Structure 1
């Protein structure tokens, strides 16, 4: 199915609206001021019946320079442009600007329509045609058909219709429906008994009555109550159609022209975009770095600052990579086209394509940034996904985020991810998270550096406690992700786990003759050992007493049940075994019973029981403990 949007463009009063009426019988000027002044101000809409029974939507855009913003709002979804030029005036300033805009938006096909043929003689018409051919050289209309018509006498209208039908049949591509739908809003109004209605061009995907939607950038949620295409109710609408959407539960004030209606979670909002910028060949301005501009995307107009990433200025006909830093949040996708106009006075200076819809803030003249943008512009799907993984691995972004970010269809995206994992360019953390192997190597180097320093400071310890390692190695809220990376480094024989500690694979804790001496002192203390300070006082010649003590705790030979109470592992296990036997027999154990079993004072029994409570081994119920 081919769903086509035809758009007009051209100078004010060159007969665009009259041409559409001659083609369709529909008057597109609908508001009082338009009829009074005889010019188009807002977007107008009509449709053309095609030979196969389908209808092509037609957008009538304003030609006056004051309403270029409204023209841009309608130009984004055009598949076929009719560049309208009056025979009695020829190429005019707004004709040139509109042609530049159509070129920047990458409109694929077009026809040059010379109107008001009845107002000039053949010699003049021939001169105008030659002039137009010179003006469109180097543009997408260089080899386009040029058809003179009179909207008033009807001369040439049928020939124009046939040319449109032929172009649609031969060249215009079928839209991709297998992506989430998206509609930039160009009109908002209320209908009594129905509520809020928006109109726009469905630029991708398909939508049906009942579908949930999200309004971007506000992220307000709604659902489709009703759909209309060409003023007829439909159950489903397709990319390439002009659509009116009745949104449930929303007020007119909830929406703004330029908002985007889309599938929930199918878009990201952003305050920055990376772009390939092209300046129009006839632009008379030199655009300096940090110049303030107007960004036009869909029906949205946002102020921004352009950061030129590899130069200080850009002039007519030149292209470069740049970053736009926006003054308002917008929702865009990689691959979208846009137009830029100068801040003041308002004049179109250029535009281009979005290479990254949610980038990091870049430093200028960074070779890595420029290389990455070159891949995003010219690379294969696999290379683009690899570049996105490099950018976002440190955030552990989900695959769904990356798929939206790259704007590669999901099936193709999933296939390329599998290839990247297979050739070890990427590493799978879990079903939702994949990171680039370069980042995994970076994490390996980080772990090695951190543990090398730790082992030098703590040669007697088996390694860093796993909880401490988690918090220092990678500050990320999902511990399962950190553990997965740690386990990967263990499998690769970079790290090892010893007694609940993380160590370098080839590290061996040093032995110290004093270890056995201190361990024996705690072991002799049984269930009531001396405090570390008391034992340290007994061995004044041991200068590294704390390091030795820490190594015994790290290795699990001593259990620190309280700051100043450490039990030898043999007595700790014996106490735990006695407590479990007593609870299994009596259903619980009291402090007094624990004290008697250990044959020690209340202080040690309290320390052990509270330690078990903190470890969720026991739970206090009244004055007794039960096993948890």
Structure 2
């Protein structure tokens, strides 16, 4: 067995075939808790017990009801088990619920099971051979076709030791669940305990939970804190995927967590009311499913009435399968790859089941070849599904894909690396993007930049932020920077300081604009260190209605002006004088104050402050209190 020892064993079979008695004989636990169960002698609700496997390993056991009226309860318990014990009364043989339970397990694609002939003390050995042969005929072609068969008596203890040996051997082949993924706990019971509060139980299908963790209850979307976790009625500081878990939750009451709710990692999951699925209709289903027929949809511990939308046909006949969309009456937490069961609306009998392909699809139009093809592609495998979701999202971090696909982080990363090696996706900083989209973006760079240049002929290029916004609003700045560097390396574009331009682009001012530019240049040159702020300069020249940013940007990039800050600029000649004065000053003294430098410049305090702050930002100087000291002074020009 795997070292973790986190296994779930479930029972199945017809009512009164000895499932609960078998669990009691193996564990010493009476799983029938309700007075009605004890009075009627049948299981009505799910029962639970720990099974000691030896060597310090304990498996959780789920005892399910066998009566046809309680199939919904059976479905809540059978989902998520690692090993099933199909119990058949040796005296009665295969009965109707034996057959239906077998169909359900087959539709859910359970992998491991043991055939258990119970009440063997009541029949002759020869009769047991006949019953086993009958059972073998019933399970032919199913996952139990080659399953071991054990003959036991819960009364005398006959065969129980041999059964335990077989259980341990079967569990040795079970692949451990993913405790490193997101938390997902389908709730099969919720109750209140005086002095403790709300308690939920279920099988932890993925992830791990610690005392003190904050989790989300879905579909209610309520946060709750784990006050205490238990496994088999014993406190556990941490619980892992594959364990039967009880959580004492604070911040939520019992009425907010009905059966079918899911306790999960906060912010990662959303409940769905529309799902794309591959559905298989049983060969012995009483009739075909027609467009918009209602069905009972069972997934995990949850259930809802669903409306079947056939996409490529008008009816689904018994024994056939199809890709369909199901619209649910109320939301359920659904993941791609989840198995489900459908039962007819009336009478309620199992008619089929299948697998979820997409948990958050768009509403489809019928008889569209592209819709059918897309669903076939999605159903073909995880890599194709991830590519589709990535296409829909445009860009996605791993956590976004976790949420959209219901796949664990480690599995996703391994798959994305394969897709990257195959040249189908690219990683832009922390975001994954389809390779085709990246190529398209790079091709769009010159077009977007050229269009901007045509509209802004006085500019030396397009600002990076503007280019990013026009390219994609979903691409993060770090990812955009990676993409920009790739485009620069391929010489599709060039950088002009912080502006992006097409190769060989030069601004093209008109004669009227050249006249304005000369007036601005002359004004700043003449004013020197007595220059006013930009707005006052414009007013003095009568340019108060001018789109000044384009003109100032042009003069800065042409080397005529230096921007000191958002409000003020200085002519380049004056700025060079200020640099030289700074060098000269520190040749004569170790520190300089703002007032001292103002007097040396013959300027005002505000402009001097702007010049010194620019020097600080360029690391020419470093401020220490009211003084500035030399740092990396400019070299003489």
Matched, 1:139 2:142: yes
| Residue in 2 that maps onto 1:622 | none
The Cα shift of 1:165 comes to 3.6
Aligned partners of 2:22 and 2:358: how far apart in 1? Answer: 39
| Residue in 1 that maps onto 2:239 | 237
Aligned partners of 2:204 and 2:420: how far apart in 1? Answer: 35
The Cα shift of 1:206 comes to 3.5
| Residue in 2 that maps onto 1:474 | 472
The Cα shift of 1:299 comes to 0.9
Aligned partners of 1:557 and 1:503: how far apart in 2? Answer: 14
Gaps of 5+ in 1: 534-548, 560-567, 598-628
Give the alignment of 1:270-285 within 5 angstroms: 270-285=272-287
Residue 7 to residue 523, structure 1, CA distance change in 2 (3 Å): closer
| Residue in 2 that maps onto 1:46 | 49
Residue 149 to residue 513, structure 1, CA distance change in 2 (3 Å): same
2:439 to 435, 441, 460: 441
The Cα shift of 1:232 comes to 2.8
The Cα shift of 1:126 comes to 5.1
| Residue in 1 that maps onto 2:194 | 192
The Cα shift of 1:41 comes to 1.0
Give the alignment of 1:45-194 within 5 angstroms: 45-117=48-120, 127-169=130-172, 171-194=173-196
Aligned partners of 2:471 and 2:512: how far apart in 1? Answer: 31
Normalising by structure 2, we get a TM-score of: 0.74
The 8 Å contact of residues 217 and 223 in structure 2, kept in 1 or not, is answered as: yes
The 8 Å contact of residues 227 and 233 in structure 1, kept in 2 or not, is answered as: yes
The Cα shift of 1:307 comes to 4.0
Residue 202 to residue 412, structure 1, CA distance change in 2 (3 Å): closer
Aligned partners of 1:79 and 1:302: how far apart in 2? Answer: 25
CA deviation map 1:131-167 (0-9, x unaligned): 3322222111112233444444555444434433433
CA deviation map 1:403-461 (0-9, x unaligned): 4544554345445545655665433333x322222222333455555556666677776
Q: Secondary structure at the match of 1:577?
A: strand
Aligned partners of 1:136 and 1:529: how far apart in 2? Answer: 95
Q: Secondary structure at the match of 2:146?
A: coil
| Residue in 2 that maps onto 1:390 | 391
Normalising by structure 1, we get a TM-score of: 0.75
Aligned partners of 2:597 and 2:331: how far apart in 1? Answer: 62
| Residue in 1 that maps onto 2:570 | 577
Give the alignment of 1:339-354 within 5 angstroms: 339-354=341-356
The Cα shift of 1:488 comes to 4.6
Q: Secondary structure at the match of 1:227?
A: strand
The Cα shift of 1:553 comes to 3.7
Aligned partners of 2:553 and 2:169: how far apart in 1? Answer: 83
Aligned partners of 2:330 and 2:568: how far apart in 1? Answer: 65
Q: Secondary structure at the match of 1:41?
A: coil
| Residue in 1 that maps onto 2:298 | 296
1:261 to 260, 263, 276: 263
Aligned partners of 1:48 and 1:388: how far apart in 2? Answer: 42
Residue 586 to residue 108, structure 1, CA distance change in 2 (3 Å): same
Aligned partners of 1:190 and 1:17: how far apart in 2? Answer: 25
Residue 505 to residue 219, structure 1, CA distance change in 2 (3 Å): farther
More moved, 15-24 vs 478-487 = 478-487
The Cα shift of 1:74 comes to 0.5
Aligned partners of 1:125 and 1:287: how far apart in 2? Answer: 40
Aligned partners of 1:258 and 1:457: how far apart in 2? Answer: 58
Q: Secondary structure at the match of 2:437?
A: helix
Q: Aligned residues, how many?
A: 569
Give the alignment of 1:428-507 within 5 angstroms: 428-430=427-429, 432-446=430-444, 469-476=467-474, 485-486=483-484, 488-496=486-494, 502-505=500-503
The 8 Å contact of residues 84 and 113 in structure 1, kept in 2 or not, is answered as: yes
| Residue in 1 that maps onto 2:220 | 218
The 8 Å contact of residues 11 and 62 in structure 2, kept in 1 or not, is answered as: yes
The 8 Å contact of residues 460 and 551 in structure 1, kept in 2 or not, is answered as: no
CA deviation map 1:320-363 (0-9, x unaligned): 43444434333343333222223333222222233444445555
Q: Secondary structure at the match of 2:569?
A: helix
Matched, 1:25 2:24: no
Aligned partners of 1:194 and 1:552: how far apart in 2? Answer: 66
Residue 43 to residue 556, structure 1, CA distance change in 2 (3 Å): same
Residue 205 to residue 506, structure 1, CA distance change in 2 (3 Å): same
The 8 Å contact of residues 499 and 556 in structure 1, kept in 2 or not, is answered as: no
The Cα shift of 1:28 comes to 1.5
| Residue in 1 that maps onto 2:330 | 328
Residue 554 to residue 204, structure 1, CA distance change in 2 (3 Å): same
The Cα shift of 1:17 comes to 2.1
| Residue in 1 that maps onto 2:626 | none
Q: Secondary structure at the match of 2:570?
A: helix
The 8 Å contact of residues 462 and 555 in structure 1, kept in 2 or not, is answered as: no
| Residue in 2 that maps onto 1:608 | none
Q: Secondary structure at the match of 2:137?
A: helix
CA deviation map 1:551-591 (0-9, x unaligned): 994794589xxxxxxxx97799998339999x966999xxx
Aligned partners of 2:434 and 2:458: how far apart in 1? Answer: 36
The Cα shift of 1:31 comes to 0.7
CA RMSD of aligned residues (A): 4.5
